[in-house]
Homo-oligomer: A and B are copies of this chain.
Amino acid sequence: MLAKRSYMVFLKDFYGPLLTQKQQEAMNLYYENDWSLAEVAEHMQITRQAVHDILKRAENALQEYESRLGLAGRFLKTRQRLQEAYDLLEHPSGEDNTSKVLLILREIGDML
């Protein structure tokens, strides 16, 4: 559940503004504020089933955007490679350390 929650928050960081206001509100309360379905329902003055449906549609929309655009994945890979470069530079290992970092930076450039 935590993995899904993190992933949804991650996708929402990218594509959230393309969701409807209601979808954004429900996702904020449920995923970011960690409220229960019942709490979200009471706050939004709708049924739990309606909250469930709104979240489901929002999740599907976010996944659809990512499957079409893949930008969140590109950012994530960039972040991982960047961390590698950072670690290598902070804790040099071997003579060709700088070359390795330059190579990674070039690879990141190609991903952007």
**Which A residues are within 8 Å of any B CB, using their own CB?**
14-15, 17-18, 65, 68-69, 71, 74-75, 78-79, 82-83, 85-86, 89-90, 98, 101-102, 105-106, 108-109, 112
* Beta-carbon contact of A109 and B79 below 8 Å: yes
Per assembly, the copies of the chain total 2
Using A14-B69, A79-B112, A86-B105 as known contacts, list a sample of 17 further A-B pairs with CB atoms less than 8 Å apart, ordered by residue number in A. Answer: A14-B71, A15-B69, A17-B68, A17-B69, A18-B68, A18-B69, A78-B78, A82-B105, A82-B109, A82-B112, A83-B109, A86-B102, A86-B106, A86-B109, A89-B101, A89-B102, A101-B101
Contacts of A79 in B (CB 8 A): 109, 112
